[in-house]
Amino acid sequence: MNPLDLIPDVRDGLTRAERIILVTLHRLAQERSGRSVPTAMLYGHVVEQINLSPGEFQALLARLVGRRSP
């Protein structure tokens, strides 16, 4: 992962990776008619855009939903 991907944007505090996760989640939820998006599906679509390990993805996702990662 590029170190610049970890720098939060001054507008909203989201990193590039977090923004990609949220945009992808929104797009997939729309495609699924508002139904829940499985985490594995979300991860598969996210790694097409940015190189993240499963652990990095889980940590970012946990931060976005306000939970601590294991």
pLDDT band (50, 70, 90) for residue 46: very high
pLDDT tens string 7-28? 888 888 899 999 999 999 999 9
pLDDT band (50, 70, 90) for residue 70: low
pLDDT > 90: what percent of the chain? 64
Lookup result for tokens 């909203």:
12
**Burial zone of 55 (CB within 10 Å; 0-12 exposed, 13-18 middle, 19+ buried):** exposed
Query: What is the reported pTM?
Result: 0.85
Give the list of residues 6+ apart from residue 64 with CB closer than 8 angstroms, or none: 18, 21, 22
Nearest to 6 by CA among 69, 59, 66: 59
